[in-house]
Structure 1
Amino acid sequence: MDLNKRTQASQKVTLVGITVDFLLAILKVITGSIGNSGALIADGAHSFSDLLSDGLVLYATKHSTLDADEEHPYGHNRFETVAILGLAIILTIVGLGIILDAMIKLSNPITLSHSTLLLNITILSIFSKEALYWYTLKVANDYKSDLLKANAWHHRSDALSSIVVLIGILGSLNDYPYLDSIAAIVVGVMIIYIAWKLGLNATKELVDTSIDAQQVAELKHALGQINDVNSVHSLRTRKIGHTISCDVHIQVDPFLSVSEGHIISISVERVAKKCLKNLNDVTVHIDVEDDETNSPYKALPERSEALGILTKALFNNKYSSEISRIQLHYLESKIHVDFYLPLKCLQTDNTADKILTKLQETVNNLDNFGKIKVYFSQN
């Protein structure tokens, strides 16, 4: 995805929204004041809140595409998430204010005036906000932006609230003056509901909630089909803005070389990104055993300490053969050892069986060590 195009498209649709919201907010508040409609004034306040949310969107879309840096090594994608949470807080405050004001006016309803003007501005608001909803949603879907989707639904909530306002105004004009205040309360409740949904989704992302379970299952199945992958476990995913991050443990043949394990991890990353389109970061942990249910290596000495133990034991047993290399395998809660010896060791009265027996006896007397193998080569 071209991040520059994504940013430009996001900023363009947001600037259009800012222009429309500003004009509608002014028209609604002025018209509501002239016509004594608390519902339309409340809807105007909602439109003013849109300007704040559009400002958050504009800021977030600009900064979320910045490259990773020292302070943000995982990138800036969660700027979008924080903006959504901020938008939810703003909407909640606006919704509560509208409800409190409408409840005060409910006990003393005011007769509306300038009915034609009130109805025309309300209808204009419905159609313009619905058009903004579809325009913003299209850009959001094109560029996979949850932030723009949230803003699109904010536009849709404005259109729906304007419909409620229209019903309230029509009721008030037909000798039901309290309907205008009731409409304002309904608008406030709708705004708070939208805020709750936006805030809940943003909070889930900020606390690293996993992606959809079906997607996780599909990813695990795809990784399990890779050649030389014996099993997949400890698969974890999370959303970071419009992208996805995951880490996974892959079990492979314990006797593969480090470079072979690395190549398998590259295959895992490639398949994972093919399976999940928005997957941006993949961390692969190569396992030789399933360490999900136990930790078999906690009590075992690390390589440098293990080699020291082996070297001392070989010296004490006066094993004089020249060992060119020692390779350790941490398996089944034991350290298994591969000895690499030159072929010249077999040129004396030693045989491969004698060497193997002597080395095995030496290793058997050591704690934490298991089976051994001996390899002979000309080098």
Structure 2
Amino acid sequence: MPDLDYRYQQIKKVTLVAVVTNVFLSVSKISLGFIAQSQALIADGVHSLADLISDVIVFVAAKHGNQEADEEHPYGHGRFETVAEIALGLLLVAVAALIFIDSLARLYEPERLFSPTWFALVAAFFSIVANEGLYQYTLQIGKRINSKLLIANAWHHRTDALSSIIALVGIAGSMLGMQSLDAVAAIGVSLLIAKVGWDITSRSLRELVDTALEPAIVEKIREAILSVDGVKAVHSLRTRSVGANALVDVHLLVVNSKISVSEGHQISERVMRELIAKIEGVTDVTVHIDPEDDETTAPNSHLPLRSEVEATLGRVFKKNDYYKRYKQLNLHYLDGKISVELVLPLSLITDRENIEAVLETFSGYENLDYIKEIKVVFG
């Protein structure tokens, strides 16, 4: 995962290049569109102006979105990028609607149609070259630092190039005698802008409502988890995106239901490291260790905790001198019952008959319906 400061600096550099380019393109295309009498070029200029505004949104979002996590934002500030993408998408849809309405009105009023000159043709061609260059440059940096916002803006530059191609065709057609083709091209540009705006907005809204990662990525996550030693099965696997980061939380069924807490923790730590190392974008993993499949076994929520169990066993075995000398009491909550494991000192053992005598003293718990068994070991 790229360093946040490096990431911000890269976004800043790309955005400044785009701002300078779009200032020049928007001013030149809108002014030349009026001078050279091309509605398609004016529409394309408005598109570049929207690009300029979107570049400012990208810059502001990158500044806030790449800050480290803090007390108020424990998952980081990645949502700033998501909200900025939504604003960018809605802006594009609004611009497209205005261009579409104006161009359609001119088609029904032929006297309002423009008659483009070769100046408009040259401006459209230059716009194609400039926007395609911006697209390639922005996309390359966006992929390198894994910035969805920057990648979205790159495709915005690509649509600028495509809209300039449509404008070029419309201008050329009008100059060849098909005067309405310039307005038709402007409508085509508006529809292209609207599609890109809708795609960006819908994708960002899905992220904002915590839509899961792509199925193929989720399957890779599942495979990586199952490859970890000690993991038997995976369930309740949930994923979501926060800006450029992917968050994962998962329940694991371990191979041995009676492993120690420290071993369970070690398995969960290994799962976390594996996912962060193998799955691009994953930065946070929450692992819950299940000793058994809690989707199919009896629930354990009604069972008492250690202090109550110890007090109850103390009453049951109050006359048992062996019980009073136990070194360790292990409780295993499985399938709606508690399996008790008592560790007694080895010094209690003198011979085989002695062992059997000790074990026989640990009866009388059968009336405790939540106790499945009491296993006595010496160590």
TM-score category of the 2 structures, normalised to the smaller one: over 0.9
Aligned letter for 1:149?
Answer: I
Query: What is residue 271 of structure 1 aligned with on the other side?
Result: 274
Query: Could you tell me the TM-score, scaled by structure 1's length?
Result: 0.93
> 1:301-320 maps to which residues of 2 (within 5 A)?
301-315=304-318, 318-320=319-321
Secondary structure at the counterpart of residue 69 of structure 2: coil
Q: Residues 17-50 of structure 1, C-alpha deviation per residue, up to 9 Å, x if partnerless?
A: 1111111111111111223322221111111111
Query: What is residue 303 of structure 2 aligned with on the other side?
Result: 300
Distance change in 2, residues 1:108/1:295 (3 Å): farther
Query: What is residue 118 of structure 1 aligned with on the other side?
Result: 120
Instruction: Count the aligned residue pairs.
Output: 374
- In structure 1, runs of 5+ residues without a counterpart are none
CA positional deviation for 1:299: 2.3
> 1:1-379 maps to which residues of 2 (within 5 A)?
1-109=2-110, 110=112, 112-113=114-115, 115-252=117-254, 253-293=256-296, 296-315=299-318, 318-321=319-322, 322-324=324-326, 325-343=328-346, 345=348, 351-359=354-362, 361-377=363-379
CA positional deviation for 1:5: 2.2
Q: Residues 243-282 of structure 1, C-alpha deviation per residue, up to 9 Å, x if partnerless?
A: 2111122222122111111111111112212220221001
| Cα distance in 1 between the residues matched to 2:114 and 2:186 | 14
Aligned letter for 1:84?
Answer: E
CA positional deviation for 1:170: 1.7
| Cα distance in 2 between the residues matched to 1:220 and 1:173 | 59
| Cα distance in 1 between the residues matched to 2:350 and 2:179 | 111
CA positional deviation for 1:120: 1.1
8 Å CA contact retained: 1:9, 1:139: yes
CA positional deviation for 1:148: 0.9
- In structure 2, runs of 5+ residues without a counterpart are none
8 Å CA contact retained: 1:112, 1:173: no
Q: Residues 163-201 of structure 1, C-alpha deviation per residue, up to 9 Å, x if partnerless?
A: 111111122222222222211111111111001111121
Distance change in 2, residues 1:354/1:205 (3 Å): same
Distance change in 2, residues 1:114/1:188 (3 Å): closer
8 Å CA contact retained: 1:57, 1:83: yes
8 Å CA contact retained: 2:4, 2:67: no
CA positional deviation for 1:289: 0.4
CA positional deviation for 1:15: 0.6
Runs of 4+ in 1 over 4 A off after TM superposition: 343-348
Query: Could you tell me the TM-score, scaled by structure 2's length?
Result: 0.93
Aligned letter for 1:307?
Answer: E
CA positional deviation for 1:346: 5.0
CA positional deviation for 1:343: 4.4
| Cα distance in 2 between the residues matched to 1:75 and 1:308 | 45
Secondary structure at the counterpart of residue 326 of structure 1: strand
| Cα distance in 2 between the residues matched to 1:138 and 1:186 | 28
8 Å CA contact retained: 2:115, 2:174: no
Structural RMSD (CA): 2.0
Secondary structure at the counterpart of residue 53 of structure 2: helix
